[in-house]
Structure 1
């Protein structure tokens, strides 16, 4: 068996641009770091926003720091509940996706695009990529072993950068299907 990879469940969340953050929370507002995440520099915020779609709404956590463009990441189940068709995309690839309304304590923002179901992916450093024999944007399969629900995830994108820490990210639908995985092995 090869080297294992931590598999983390990425629950629904929102990434905000600074302009949208200020519209939702007030001019000059900065996000409050509630908890550091596994990826260096990334954190879960104390603040939440309400995401509103044609069929429903739900409160979602914000992840920091702010980004160039606002993005809402949901599972396909979340998207159906909201009445939004979320395309499976890599983070940041939001062109041509559906939008929604975001409601904060100080205002509302209507985004014209940015709702996605994040494509499953592995963050890794260049040294990790060399060890696994992959390069940035390679697509692999990962075998996840759990008690009674082991499965293989195909179409997993390798994302390589010096600023990453080794971890695979899947959404809540995928995690539930595998019984809450905690580690996997690339089988290509």
Structure 2
């Protein structure tokens, strides 16, 4: 058998394995996130008035999470971005997740971070209908990650905090390195990427990826 024949045989076997029954069980659905804001209750009160309650627009894929009807304007040293969606429910600390291109528009140097890791992140000014808030920290570019329930982690053979690589199929596909596993009892299986990553690789809300 020639080297070309061997290579063709290996390729055909890989395709057969991918198409084999149970192959779909290894697929992880994709969720695409645009820039958004998580607010603390105190900042919500300052932006929308004392005692304001967020109004749900639609549920998100993660249990208990939802997009709100309310939006804010994000102001940086060099520019502003209007109508940035708030996600609920309220959190203990305000967090602003932006895209890499937004850093140039706003004039901030946002690091790539996992949600909740706010130390050393810059702040911005948030403007709402009733007031404004100057945050001391909380601006970040979201580190791509996979939400998993413990049962999902067991099935995939991974653990919380583990870094994995993902295969993205399709004409614009490739390998997404440095993707973090996040395991909680309240999570639903989903890989979260931002719109820039999704656009670069041709991913959408109906897409899926797999760990390699």
TM range (shorter): over 0.9
Matched residue SS, 1:170: strand
> Structure 1 CA distance, aligned partners of 2:56 and 2:186?
19
In the TM superposition, residue 41 of structure 1 has moved relative to its aligned partner by: 0.2
Counterparts of residues 42-121 of structure 1 (less than 5 Å): 42-59=65-82, 60-121=84-145
Equivalence for 2:14: none
> Structure 1 CA distance, aligned partners of 2:103 and 2:37?
13
Equivalence for 2:156: 132
In the TM superposition, residue 10 of structure 1 has moved relative to its aligned partner by: 0.8
* Structure 1 unaligned blocks of 5 or more: none
In the TM superposition, residue 8 of structure 1 has moved relative to its aligned partner by: 1.3
* Structure 2 unaligned blocks of 5 or more: 1-17
Matched residue SS, 1:51: strand
Which structure has the bigger radius of gyration? 2
TM-score, normalization: structure 1? 0.97
TM-score, normalization: structure 2? 0.86
Matched residue SS, 2:46: helix
Equivalence for 2:34: 11
In the TM superposition, residue 55 of structure 1 has moved relative to its aligned partner by: 1.3
In the TM superposition, residue 109 of structure 1 has moved relative to its aligned partner by: 0.1
User: What's the C-alpha RMSD, in Å, of the aligned pairs?
Assistant: 0.8
Equivalence for 1:174: 197
Question: Quick check: which one's helix share is greater?
Answer: 2
In the TM superposition, residue 180 of structure 1 has moved relative to its aligned partner by: 2.4
Matched residue SS, 1:46: strand
